[in-house]
């Protein structure tokens, strides 16, 4: 009996030891892991001319640089954008996807474009990326210097289903406005509204994008247009009510002739995945990003204002993936461990 108990005890000890070794091997840079665990992952992005695509390309580049160590190969896929990426993740055709924080919320809850399929209980947030401010652009000769100056003007409120239209509808609701508030409204898509502004067909337009943006740069220089602050009590209430919005600032000098910062609100671009994604893969992705954070930050102007502390929570409405939780906890523990203590007696 004692002999049998001894064998069981040794087996338990051996089992614990094996588990410990395997746990360490997940984080350890071993070539054996790469040889035994080849994984291909895809990141859904957006159109090639937007910010999402170069974001995905850069993330994949950073991951693939260490493919020989961790065995993970990444491919960035051009897509129709946020909604499509969330749908692909649910269907299992994409492993990760870049989505706006409001789309993340809608996919989780089964709202808007996800109403037919219902809530996605497996959707998980990985990290917050760059800000995407709600941007109001007006002709300089339209004398629009604040949000309230839109009253009685010709405004493009965005095409139905677009990110800017969703935000504009909420702004109008918060202000108690209807389409009749304006002299006229149009529903032009983003690629058509700049031409309409320059042709004097509209006085103002809205966009939800990362900055600096090439289309906005072209508009401001071609049409003698200006960026307008979007703030005030109604906007503050909007931010409090909807968890995917936050206060934002478009930096001064982001565009030629624009020296002052522009106050507004907006969503964040976020990276999401499924709860089925192994935690190891998520941790490797985050490690690749933060180990090369300076390289990532200066790979695109939209990332210049990134702050690591914001990236683990800003705009994340879906539950955080286990791999992200583990990584951020370990990073916090390391920060405490490496903190320089004062000499004794100080």
Query: Contact 279/107 with Cβ under 8 angstroms?
Result: no
Burial of 209 by CB count in 10 Å (0-12 exposed, 13-18 middle, 19+ buried)? buried
Query: Contact 304/258 with Cβ under 8 angstroms?
Result: no
pLDDT of 176 over the 60 cut: yes
Average pLDDT over residues 149-175: 90
- Gyration radius of the chain over CA positions: 24
Instruction: Please give the model's pTM, rounded to 2 decimal places.
Output: 0.74
* pLDDT tens digits, one per residue of 211-220: 888 888 889 9
Domains of the chain listed by start with CATH number = 2-130+269-336 (3.40.190.10), 132-268 (3.40.190.10)
Long-range contacts of 34-38 (CB under 8 A, 24+ apart): 34/67, 34/68, 34/69, 34/70, 34/71, 35/71, 36/71, 37/70, 37/71, 38/71, 38/73
pLDDT of 156 over the 90 cut: yes
Burial of 205 by CB count in 10 Å (0-12 exposed, 13-18 middle, 19+ buried)? buried
pLDDT of 33 over the 70 cut: no
Q: State how far the alpha carbon of 104 is from the alpha carbons of 200, 274, 326, in Å.
A: 36, 12, 21
Q: Which has more confidence, 10 or 112?
A: 112
């Amino acid at each position: 009996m004692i002999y049998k108990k001894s064998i069981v005890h040794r087996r338990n000890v051996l089992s614990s030891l094996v588990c410990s070794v395997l746990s360490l091997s997940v984080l350890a840079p071993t070539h054996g892991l790469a040889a035994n665990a080849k994984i291909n992952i895809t990141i859904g992005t957006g159109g090639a001319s937007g910010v999402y695509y170069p974001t995905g390309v850069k993330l994949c580049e950073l991951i693939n640089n260490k493919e020989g160590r961790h065995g993970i190969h990444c491919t960035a896929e051009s897509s129709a954008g946020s909604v499509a990426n969330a749908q692909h993740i649910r269907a299992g055709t994409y492993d990760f996807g870049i989505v706006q924080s409001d789309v993340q919320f809608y996919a989780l809850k089964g709202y808007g474009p996800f109403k037919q399929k219902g809530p996605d209980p497996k959707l998980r947030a990985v990290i917050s990326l760059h800000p995407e401010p709600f941007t109001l652009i007006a002709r300089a000769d339209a004398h629009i210097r604040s949000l309230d100056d839109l009253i009685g003007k010709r405004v493009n409120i965005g095409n139905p289903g677009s990110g800017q239209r969703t935000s504009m509808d909420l702004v109008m609701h918060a202000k108690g406005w209807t389409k009749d508030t304006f002299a006229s409204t149009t529903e032009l898509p983003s690629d058509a509204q700049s031409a309409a502004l320059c042709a004097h067909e509209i006085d103002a337009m809205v966009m939800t994008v990362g900055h600096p943006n090439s289309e906005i740069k072209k508009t401001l220089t071609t049409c003698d247009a200006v960026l307008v602050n979007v703030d005030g009590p109604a906007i503050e209430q909007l931010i409090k009510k909807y968890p995917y919005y936050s206060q934002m600032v478009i930096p001064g000098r982001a565009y030629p002739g624009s020296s002052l910062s522009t106050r507004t609100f907006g969503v964040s671009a976020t990276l999401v995945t499924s709860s089925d994604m192994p935690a190891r893969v998520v941790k490797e992705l985050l490690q690749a990003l933060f180990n090369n954070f300076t390289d990532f930050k200066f790979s695109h102007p939209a990332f210049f204002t990134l702050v690591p502390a914001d990236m683990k929570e800003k705009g994340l409405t879906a539950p955080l993936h286990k791999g992200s939780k583990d990584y951020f906890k370990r990073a916090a523990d390391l920060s405490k461990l490496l903190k320089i203590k004062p000499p004794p007696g100080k």
